[in-house]
Chain A
């Protein structure tokens, strides 16, 4: 086969990653196309395209160039796909897309005209994100930085600058926050209430806030701090400021702190600060053993447990009995469990629950005590994969936006006779895919009768754009078991594989 690669470079042309994903998919679906990519020509994207053999010899690109790259079976097929991509790019925007609203070219211009602006939501490519955050802080704005791939040095310096100015620097890699009902980045439509959340974990914050909201209580605000805030290098700068903010917030009675286990020195200073607070706290360090807490705090190693403590010991999904459900499910396969997670913290919580049930577990995002995948042979362990990890998302959107990231691994798992259960998560809300259940049910529709059982949890609320119950119904109609929470999905998985010899 004569493989042909063609490139088109648009100088000074920017499209966001979601728009690029949509166009990439159109081009990749053209007849005769083997592979296609539409990307901004940042150094990291250029490396991805070069490694994939998608850049023609001698093609030079810069970070403000849009690159269309097509690899096809013939020159004609490549040319046709490229021409179609160019036509799509040049298509005039519809009235809705164009939005008559004023669009300044910089943060400075926006703030000059609208001095009421008090927060910048930044989701540009990581290489440029720190620069934009600095511009926002310089103009007295709080920042939520959704972008990842920002250096630890930049994170520290931005957070120090923010603290000195009395501003909140949420992120980098801050997936979610809800401030006064404003959903920032991936966030759910939550009931307003008197429980606050400080989260170093995006999907952890979403799971806890949705479980609380669906249980009939509500959230005052959820402040994201970014996944590295409680590491030694950063020292919990934003976490400590968020606790201060909740301490003086009259709308908040109780605060839930969610993070992977912090560095011991950082944990100490955060717990000391909690001890001085007038409010009560739930501390959820996913997978940590019991920590020494001040009298106004309680501990949970799981997200579900944290939601229950915050709700005053109200049980989540009280009518759900994993053993009773498992007893009705025939066990296919040889007893293995594979988890394919869009939510990194849901993957971590799954590791905690499976390990506590005595399962041997491996993960690409291993928590302490769990084998890191790829380091040594898997040895028949349960595999719990975080599909939001860099290795799956480099150069493409997060699986919460583009659930097809999971397709290949899911198709393979459905045919793997070592597996008895595949664990899945769907994350709903603003910013997420419009109908992840529809996508998932299409992928699993033609699975064999001897395929592993599929168990899902749905992170979301009834008020979310996708509607939680509508998503659950679609999954159940496709024969997928749906648990009230991620933790209970894991308990059901364990119950099914332990039903050996029935």
Chain B
């Protein structure tokens, strides 16, 4: 057993290629590296248990997970590096991984390898060895590989690579404990990996450049000259940038360019291909000696499932069936919980108000504690069952491997608005709740795809807006309720598509990101894995969005109750005055009353609050609301109002989560302004166009 002694550690800032002189401590630093979908998270979970610290890499939106544990009286710090296929500078994940290895110099790196796909996985191992990482290979899914007819002789690989190799199942405590023992042993002495054989010609030129660097440039000790030589030869922009900061670099770079041209001329290939070929050739030789394959000819279950779910005709309907089930199940399961939370807070509020009245506390204190504090906390917690259920559903789709298939079948459709298939799930989840939807964009590779998907997400009409539509549709279009609500949803989708097209041609012009992704084999997810997945995302939502939501709820309460002595949200209150002030802006849209304005301001907290606010400002309960509204709205202005509610500022929670996910205030502010502008224009067109066409 691993004695668990988990502590939360804050991440320290890092800059490019600056060696972190760690203070003298006996903590062993271990990093986990590996390709995506090889069980790295499972291993991390088995190692650290359920309590682990999730944050972001400094200045990045990529998750950084780490945990501390004790093993035989030694404290160990484990960092889960992002999943990467390579250590070029292609993606942020790759840059983070290699900078971490160079700068933080972890004592040991455990590279987790999918045994069923060892050749591709070793491509990363070779590059880790190039980087002089103190490596241990952990072969995962060996049982599965053997069933497929792939038998790996780990001792031979170990001998050929010169690093310890061990077979594990990432969810087995025993295996992982053994691995940890090996890692602790390896941390004491550096392994001496065997040289990677690139072939004589390349080898010769790498040494030539290495000597050139050693002779001409004063490299700091944490930069390895051979690795630099390889990367410079490969034309790695980041490393070239680093070299340029030294004296004499121009000469060296010129010389390197000459060698590169020479190699490209001999091999008649570009330098990337030359190195890829050399590395794969080395791996092939190694695999030939240490792996015996007797591939079973029968079609695997994975292939059978794929032939259905990626089918040209069946694929898409099957996907919608799955999504329908997810929404049904998650909303049905979360409803009783939501009800419970709601009633608990009502109960709590009543009890506290009763108590405060009994001690004759001033009215404003009662209202503050009852409406703002408890109401505020309640409105945050009310979201939680729904959000957690949707997070669980996403985790399930992700961990089984189905999510990648969805991306595949939806790619053609999404391509039309300049996105990939991968963006489809976040957009679809938006119909449930925009918050988990925006957090789900983490699965997208490129920054541009993420931003674009986040920015158009609020137009997917979330479930909280539905009650508003239902109220208005039943009051004004009793015969065509369904059709009217459907049209509203379609307008949302149209706004999303149109915005996607506009952003693609303006904000993100020229930033096309190619679709290249792996379809991982189907796997049965572990319950712990799913729960941890759901939990850490859910908790991070509560922590980050919760504070913002709470603060805004409290400040709206203040606006509704100041100056002292006014009725809540009445015309004399600050919010009422604000409503009066902005009402003229809504006049051309057909709803220029201060009441509607106040409802819209309150709707910023959460869209479902709009109904309650109408009730408060008109002084009626939910039963009488429809008839009151019929007096102040016409069918046309009601429809215009619905369109506005659909499109204008997403709720606070969404804005807060955009802030968190984009790591800046720029995009949430942009979203607020942009959506309001679009909403205003769309409602204007609806109302004025409707008037012209003779509707009232």
Are the chains A and B members of one assembly? no
Residues of A participating in the B interface, judged by any CB pair closer than 8 Å: none
